[in-house]
Amino acid sequence: MFVSAEPHILHADLDAFYASVEQRDNPALRGRPVIVGGGVVLAASYEAKAFGVRTAIGGREALRLCPQAVVVPARFDAYLAASKAVFGIFRNTTPNVEGISIDEAFLDVRGVRRISGNPRAIAEQLRRDVREQVGLPITVGIARTKFLAKVASAVGKPDGLLEVPTDSELEFLHPLPVERLWGVGKVTSRRLRERGITTVGDLAALGEPVLTSMLGNGAGRHLYALAMARDPRRVQTGRRRRSIGSQHALGRGPTSSEDLEAIVVGIIDRVSKRLRKAGRRCRTVVLRLRFGDFTRATRSHTLRHPTSHTETLRAVAQELLRAAMPMLAERGCTLVGISLSNLDNESTAQLELPLDSQPRPEIDCAIDALRERFGAGVLTRAVLIGRQPRPQVPLLPD
């Protein structure tokens, strides 16, 4: 596969996204350590990170590390609005945008050089546009490959711009910690460091045969290729979303089964609405859980026929949760997530017989229209009254 010999891929990543939105919207928070989320840290400003506060740690531990931090509740509607505005700037920069999450994307700028200048000039303008139009800091990495561009943005943070010249790729990459390689998690990191392999250069020096014997054929070849700056993947645009999901972070304290079921109901309400808005149906419901020790589990159920009917999806999700309750009672729960996958287009769905047994979409559509016009709180399920479950945000803006 042909890969351009010059840096042309941008990885744009908003800095401490949730916390930056809070500091943007409340001038009193600027320059101060900010923690978003109380029970579990959803985001931390760089001022808080300087004290060791990190995403997903408990709120109590975060305040022990940084007692002077300001804790604010999450405002996911504000984050989603900011994300949509930033992605609009991405698409005004180049049509070749691949969203990775709500706050980061890859951009291929080869096709706009004659109009907008070289990749560095394009990245500088993009950063100015995001700062001036949305009021947020963003870091951009520029490189020949997606992997190097993402590493460059991570090294360039916060609020920076870093380009990796083609003739200096290994010089840039090899001194970095081995954990910078995609695929080196805690277990692989520990195995490598036990053998004295601490940098990307150390790993590259082992050679592919040694790595495959140590880590297996797939992992060994993958990591050696990345360590030698080989990554043939292109920026992929126009891909339809393969799943639609949302998650709810909880505190470290106990959560009742009734509260967990209410959280699942709230998530299903939200993601089923997004499913219908996108003109899709799903066949598979996936329940994702994170326990008190931060280990995870996944449970799923695949329906015979695709659907976007809220009650059908709710029943499946609640059954998955009930089956997992013994684990939750024993190990505690710090996060619940639901994703809908195996998506089909609404227009291609085949009707089942008998036709009068089909879920009727009129109620779902009427509720969607009311919430779209008057806000999400205009209609609330009885099980959610008084609980006020936190609204959730998608991984990518719709």
H or E element in which residue 72 lies: strand 70-72
For residue 357, what pLDDT is reported? 47
Residue written as token pair 């070749």: 96
CA distance 83 to 252: 29
CB-based contacts of 266, cutoff 8 Å, min separation 6? 248, 381, 384, 389, 392
CA distance 150 to 155: 9
CA distance 317 to 337: 10
Among 126, 144, 164, give the residue marking a domain's end.
Answer: 164
Same domain, 116 and 207: no
For residue 2, what pLDDT is reported? 40
Number of domains within the chain: 3
Strand partners, 9: 108, 143
Same domain, 201 and 121: no
Question: Which of 242, 202, 254 is CA-nearest to residue 223?
Answer: 202
Q: Establish if 55 belongs to a structural domain.
A: yes
Q: Establish if 233 belongs to a structural domain.
A: no
Q: What DSSP assignment string belongs to 342-378?
A: EEEEGGGPPPPSSGGGSPPSHHHHHHHHHHHHH-GGG
For residue 363, what pLDDT is reported? 61
What is the reported pTM? 0.71
Same domain, 196 and 330: no
Residue 347 backbone phi and psi in degrees, to 5: -70, -20
Q: Establish if 345 belongs to a structural domain.
A: yes
**Residues known to be catalytic:** 104
Same domain, 146 and 222: no
**At what angle are helices 119-129 and 76-93 packed, to 10 degrees?**
150
Q: Establish if 284 belongs to a structural domain.
A: yes
Distances in Å between the Cα of 245 and the Cα atoms of 104, 187, 267 are 17, 27, 8
The amino acid that residue 244 corresponds to is I
For residue 331, what pLDDT is reported? 82
Same domain, 56 and 204: no
- Domain limits at 351? 243-384
What are the 10-residue block averages of pLDDT along the chain, 398 residues in total? 70 96 96 88 93 87 95 89 94 92 92 89 96 97 96 95 95 95 86 93 94 89 94 81 79 78 89 86 90 82 88 91 86 87 69 49 64 60 55 51
Q: Establish if 398 belongs to a structural domain.
A: no
CATH value at residue 99: 3.30.70.270
Same domain, 110 and 138: yes
For residue 57, what pLDDT is reported? 82
Same domain, 145 and 223: no
Same domain, 2 and 139: yes
Same domain, 206 and 132: no
Same domain, 248 and 302: yes
Tokens found for residue 374 = 């008057």
CA distance 175 to 365: 55
Question: Which of 287, 293, 190, 289 is CA-nearest to residue 245?
Answer: 287
Burial of 269 (0-12, 13-18, 19+ CB in 10 A): buried
CATH value at residue 338: 3.30.1490.100
Q: Establish if 238 belongs to a structural domain.
A: no
Q: Establish if 237 belongs to a structural domain.
A: no
CATH value at residue 199: 1.10.150.20
Same domain, 153 and 7: yes
Residue 322 backbone phi and psi in degrees, to 5: -60, -40
Q: Establish if 43 belongs to a structural domain.
A: yes
Same domain, 67 and 149: yes
Exposure string (b/e) for 336-349, b if CB count within 10 Å is 16 or more? Answer: bbbbbbbbbeeeee
CA distance 288 to 309: 21
